[in-house]
Structure 1
Amino acid sequence: MTIRSITSRDNPQYKELRRLADNAQARRKAGQSLLDGVHLCDTWLRQTGMPLLCVVGESALANPEVSGIVQRCEQGDARVVALPDALFHPLSQVEHGVDLLFVVETPVPAAPSALTQSSVLLDRVQDPGNLGSILRSAAAAGVKQVFCSAGTVQAWSPRVLRAGMGAHFVLEIFENAELAPLVASAAIPVIATSSHTEQSLYQLDLSAPVAWLFGHEGQGVDEALLAAATHRVAIPHLGEVESLNVAASAAVCFFEQVRQTLAR
């Protein structure tokens, strides 16, 4: 398939790309996401398949990694458009990045009726870096499902995607999930982190699947959800700090579960 060039800001396809880049509501309405940079685009090709559209800056075509990805897209009959660098840069939030974008269909997996496998429930986690880090740690720990409540930052936003480093592509991510029914009907223990409990994370048997419940950066887990959880645990620490960052807490929990699983 031949690379098509777009040279005008008034081109309808370019205007649509600007809307997708600038507006989360436009991405939700279109059911599409933008993958920015070589790593995300290459990972998508390897793990998922062809994008809806490959967008490349003209200067980036001289980059061997970029040209290789573009060639794979052409061979897979994906549409490819090239933009002058001045038109490409408003589409990207990465400073000094490589000018390559994929437009992909945002995955919408079928929601399970109950929690039966190791999963993560996120209650109003608002920082994109935190959410992306949690997704990355969850994927590395073998977690498969992540449920994000209303009020949680959009999981497929460009900033979360960059922080996730491709974790999105191996997870089932459910947005605007109702967490209370999931907790109530869970077929596995639900473990919530809290700084106001004496039970230590390290006292629990984590060798079987569990659902982890993490909350808002400042307010923690909603009180009703916290009360409904099977266990409420704290992560012991020695330093003079009140609590850990939610992404750090999640990583500690996930890999304590990995440690116990491998020990058995």
Structure 2
Amino acid sequence: MKLITSKDNPLFKELKQLASSSQARRRAGQSLLDGVHLAQAWLQHRGAPQLCVVAESAQYHPEVAPILAQCEALQAQCLVLADKLYDAVSTVDNGVGLFLLVATPVASAPKALTESAVLLDGLQDPGNLGSILRSAAAAGVRQVFCSPGTVAAWSPKVLRAGMGAHFVLDIVEDADLVALCAASRIPLLATSSHAAQTIYDCDLSGPVAWLLGHEGQGVSAALQEAATQEVVIPHLGQMESLNVAAAAAVCLFEQLRQRTAGR
């Protein structure tokens, strides 16, 4: 493995730019997976990375060494950075000293919605998006469509919140949600505190698409109008509504419950 100790090394400069700039990552079509869990998940579901990078002091760490060996066995390029250089590139404070550089998976939007999906309209919080991706993956909903203006799905913060969910999903960014809704062959459900029907009274045994919106403004008027129906998550207490990630989890797992246990 090559050891890089100079900050003037061209590859180090390239890695530093990718780590610090979402635009650079988007132009290159690459993502950084920082930490043991994301690396293990990628290797399990997607195979070899483009590059495995470890801090010099982490080469023999008990969690890092097996991942490094697996990457070498897959003939992926492996690189060691002097600790100071690694710290300048890592997107995690006090991390274990390992990240993978991978080609960002690109999924294409279908001509029509025919299987369960999540449509996200303008979400801004990386933690919310990552949590929704994690819930979708756990509930067996594979397709996720993000409108323009939604936080970047492959940003380091969203990746950490997703905990590997990205690698088992088809994530389409900058999707035309209105066009998808117009071509949908399945029910389109939007949550609303003013709806009469609860999610527990709704037939979710077949494919459905969930419309979830901006944390403050909710789903846009155009998408709300495109929805087949509006549903409400009933709750007690004085809170007006749920966090969007919590609402998504409730909806997705009620759908899973109906599909697996019957209504």
What is the TM-score with the length of structure 2 in the denominator? 0.98
- Map of 1:124 onto structure 2: 122
CA–CA distance in structure 2, aligned partners of residues 53 and 193 of structure 1: 42
- 1:43 to 2:46 alignment: no
Contact 2:109–2:175 (CA under 8 A) maintained in structure 1: no
- Map of 1:242 onto structure 2: 240
Structure 1: which 5+ runs fail to align? none
Range 58-67 or range 48-57, more displaced: 58-67
- For 1:135, give the aligned amino acid: L
Structure 2: which 5+ runs fail to align? none
CA–CA distance in structure 2, aligned partners of residues 129 and 239 of structure 1: 25
- Map of 2:229 onto structure 1: 231
CA–CA distance in structure 2, aligned partners of residues 149 and 231 of structure 1: 20
Contact 1:194–1:221 (CA under 8 A) maintained in structure 2: no
CA–CA distance in structure 2, aligned partners of residues 162 and 35 of structure 1: 8
Q: Indicate which of 7, 10, 34 corresponds to 1:9.
A: 7
SS at match of 1:62: coil
- Map of 2:147 onto structure 1: 149
Q: Indicate which of 255, 258, 261 corresponds to 1:260.
A: 258
How much does 1:140 deviate?
0.1
Q: Indicate which of 69, 83, 102 corresponds to 1:104.
A: 102
- For 2:36, give the aligned amino acid: V
SS at match of 1:116: coil
- Map of 1:205 onto structure 2: 203
How much does 1:156 deviate?
0.4
How much does 1:188 deviate?
0.3
- For 1:119, give the aligned amino acid: A
> What CA RMSD, in Å, does the superposition of the two structures yield over aligned residues?
0.8
- For 1:83, give the aligned amino acid: L
Identity %: 63
How much does 1:85 deviate?
1.3
- For 1:230, give the aligned amino acid: T
Range 227-236 or range 193-202, more displaced: 193-202
How much does 1:55 deviate?
0.4
How many residue pairs match? The answer is 262
How much does 1:97 deviate?
1.4
- For 1:76, give the aligned amino acid: L
